[in-house]
Chains A and B, each alone.
Chain A
Amino acid sequence: MKTEFSTPHSTKRRFRVLKEFLIKAFLFICAASSVLVTVGVVWTLVVEALPFFDDVSLSQFLFDREWTPLFENAQYGIMTLVCGTLLTTVIALLVAIPLGTITAVFLSEYSSEKMREIFKPILELLAAIPTVVYGYFAMLFVTPLLQKIIPGISSFNALSAGLVMGVMIIPYISSLSEDAMRAVPLHLREGSLALGASKFQTSFRVILPAAFSGVASAYILGISRALGETMVVAIAAGLQPRLSFNPLESTQTITAFIVQVSLGDLPQGSIGYRSIYVSGLVLLIFTLVFNLIGQLIRSNMEKKFK
């Protein structure tokens, strides 16, 4: 069993070093390939979208008041799609931020370890449901319900899509917010309670502000989810791009437009093909900006509590 020490040039040693090196190199290539994917996404979108501007001027793109790239008399006002996207996102946030925050406060401050163990997985199930199922739900359950409450609401409308999307992103917001609140040091909590503050006051006046940056980053990641959500809006919000913020009418988001065009025949290089890439690029820029802001705030928070 006694092994004598080998020299660096012995075959055995070289073989071992080589084997470990090859493994490391292989793993590195795998990890680096994820960068390749991102580069692939950005590069494809840019390359396929750029020729769009051979036919359409930037001012048309930004200031046309309609988006009808597939019609005879084509107009290219991306703002109509952006408007639809923002509208559904705002409605979703109006649902998800209050509910998500309250859920997070409840999980972090009010529930026992056991309750958390039960509730968290259930909440995560909300995020696991396929989005097409949510779309079904918005169109065939929520919309008829809304039609009873608000007569005259269109059978495709931004409101119902937004509401359902809101429910969908609750778990994203609540789970990240809860992490942030639980990271607040115990002594802050005890300090507040020792001064005679109630649990409710402590939660909302001490914990929530202290965890603000973490909670804010949760909101921002929620926004970027809502911006990129596709199936719910494609099914329930309708297909008419509109430069209006009326939630009762139908509208069209960037993602829904991409779906609509993709469903048809799509020759490479046609204006329809270019238009989905250009709108996809706009969407990507929006979400990337929000993601980066969210991560920045988050890493600041991590520094603060370390």
Chain B
Amino acid sequence: MNRKAEVKNLNFSYSHSALVLKSVSLPIFENKITALIGPSGCGKTTLLRCFNRMHDLYGNVKYDGSILLLPDQVNILSTDIDPIEVRMKIGMVFQKPNPFPKSIYENIAYGLRIRGIKKKSYIDEKVEDSLKMAGLWQEVSDRLHTGANSLSGGQQQRLCIARALATEPDILLLDEPTSALDPISTAHIEELVASLKKKVTILMVTHNLHQAARTADYTAFMYLGELIEFGESSQIFTNPKEQKTENYITGRFG
């Protein structure tokens, strides 16, 4: 099994306050889906946002430890690494669909444009490819130049996935991608995510245990900033080794 990334002894805190992540270590396997679960405030979203250095936008933060991108063994948390280059390699989809208030086409083209790509035929091709990958092409191919805000919530989220895919990221981060959607759109997105792992490594935060059990190959359970247990989803959900994990997945807290 190939590893795509490796989190090693990661401590994280905002400026000088208490640690939000405590000595977290876990592997991220290539072309697999890894789910991060745990009660709110456990640090799962914080961990996710370390992967694309999103915390750097909000001033004083302290990373300690490393996230190595394999096979090159580059620590993307190093101060020598430009967060912008990290984000160029690692895409993200957010909790709430957040398409730009531009056309569908421009939403997807934007990531390419800021990478300096100007060739129209290439962008056209990429827009079509990513929309197809996100399962949205059939629905929108005849109205690529209408506003993205006219799409339904589920469609908007798939557009956001397409937008992240267009730049061919090494890893795709999903932050509770279905929490703002209705059950039918959720099912669509889950199917889509499952089909995407052939192309991209996926790391997903979710509140929904069933979703993790259904879609993820690996699951990490976090609690109070610590990684309690990591393993194949089938094992975590049927035969957890830790008492806390069991308590959580059987609904005793959280």
Contact = CB atoms under 8 A, between A and B. Distances in A.
B214 interface: no
Interface in A65-106: none
B85 A3 contact: yes
Nearest to A10: B82
Contact of A13 (B82, B89, B115, B168): B82
B81 to A, nearest CB: 6
A149 interface: no
B88 interface: yes
B168 A7 contact: no
Nearest to B117: A1
B167 interface: yes
B206 to A, nearest CB: 29
A8 B82 CA distance: 8
B88 A3 contact: yes
Contacts of B61: none
A6 interface: yes
B74 interface: yes
A5 interface: yes
B80 interface: yes
B81 A5 contact: yes
B85 A1 contact: no
Interface string B214-232: 0000000000000000000
A3 B89 contact: yes
Interface string B66-97: 00000000101000111011101100000000
B197 to A, nearest CB: 19
A4 to B, nearest CB: 8
Contacts of B81: 5
A2 B72 CA distance: 13
Nearest to B82: A13
Interface in A2-54: 2-3, 5-8, 13, 16
A40 B86 CA distance: 46
Contacts of B115: 1, 3
Contacts of A1: 115, 167-168
Contacts of A8: 80, 82
B122 to A, nearest CB: 10
Which of B76, B89, B115, B168 gathers most chain A CB within 10 Å?
A: B89
A1 B76 CA distance: 18
B82 to A, nearest CB: 6
Interface in A214-267: none
A1 B111 CA distance: 11
B74 A5 contact: yes
A9 to B, nearest CB: 9
A41 to B, nearest CB: 34
Contacts of A16: 82, 84
23 contacts: A1-B115, A1-B167, A1-B168, A2-B89, A2-B168, A3-B85, A3-B88, A3-B89, A3-B115, A5-B74, A5-B76, A5-B81, A5-B82, A5-B85, A5-B86, A6-B82, A6-B85, A7-B80, A8-B80, A8-B82, A13-B82, A16-B82, A16-B84
A-B pairs with lowest CB-CB distance, top 5: A8-B80, A5-B85, A5-B74, A1-B168, A3-B88
Given A3-B89, A5-B74, A5-B85, 19 more contacts: A1-B115, A1-B167, A1-B168, A2-B89, A2-B168, A3-B85, A3-B88, A3-B115, A5-B76, A5-B81, A5-B86, A6-B82, A6-B85, A7-B80, A8-B80, A8-B82, A13-B82, A16-B82, A16-B84
